[in-house]
Structure 1
Amino acid sequence: MKLMCWFSAEHANNIEDAKAGQRLGIKKMHGDANWVVGETDLEAPRPCPVCLIDQTRVLFRFSESQQASLHFGSEAEAVFRMSKHPKRDIFEFADGKQITLGDLPAGLIFDVLAVPGSEQLSGVLNMEPAVNDEEETEKEPFLARLLAHF
């Protein structure tokens, strides 16, 4: 069984699963609850919430005002975690700092880097140096030439 954000686990009704490479945002909803939604749904009156699976890796992209209030640089990687006691959705950063979904500012944008159990990775993580491609193409003709001698 996959663990997903508490909102989705308890109110699973018309909810989308997060996918690697997707750009999401934080939207303040009714009762001061924060939802994770697609970037294009940030201004929508009835957005579709997006479910993050436990251990999903994300890259936050902070505006200048968010950097100052949250004490981060322009970008920070975090891991989404579901705390069971008490039930809370938390983002844990590399320095150990934890911020609950409810404490994140509305309008904050982030990219999904990797989703557990999914083989698809964000394009940011899939980028390989061009040198590797060049080395492989150089090896193929050499191997072909070597085999031609036998």
Structure 2
Amino acid sequence: MSRSAEPASGSERDGEDTGRVRVDWRAALRTPRKDVLLRFGFGAGVSLLAAAVSALFGSFIGGVFLAFPAILLASLTLVAEEEGIRRARDDARGAALGTLGLLVFAIVAAVLVRHHSAWLAFGAATAAWAWTSLTAYALAWALGLGGDEPRRRR
């Protein structure tokens, strides 16, 4: 997926990105090897950290570390380098909102799966995740958080 600075359909004004996500399969082939290795390196590092924590403190605690988005750090680094700090901040905010939804999913699933069928527990957890994530996104949008925030003066 790509968020290009070039307008896709002329709907963007003055170079402002409307936030539309487009798939550009050729961009994957143009991705520098350094960037690909950085993403895999961060992903492997986070996975190794989760494995070490599991070995030291048990699988329950280690499982919490598996929920960490392994390539988020690498992706934010690359986005900041290529598209600017504001875009990286917006992506980090989106990851935080998604993480909130996943936390609610985990809590609902853990509570319900002990007393109900797995289908019911995971169905309810999925509904709770969707509601939480969409509500958090709507709240952030209503508060004006995002690409339209004023820039800080240096």
Query: Would you tell me which structure has more helix in proportion to its own residues?
Result: 2
TM-score by length of 1: 0.20
Query: Would you tell me which structure has more strand in proportion to its own residues?
Result: 1
TM-score by length of 2: 0.19
Answer with 1 or 2: which has the greater Rg. 1
Per chain length, whose mean CA-contact separation is higher, i.e. which structure has more relative contact order (CA < 8 Å, sep 6+)? Answer: 1
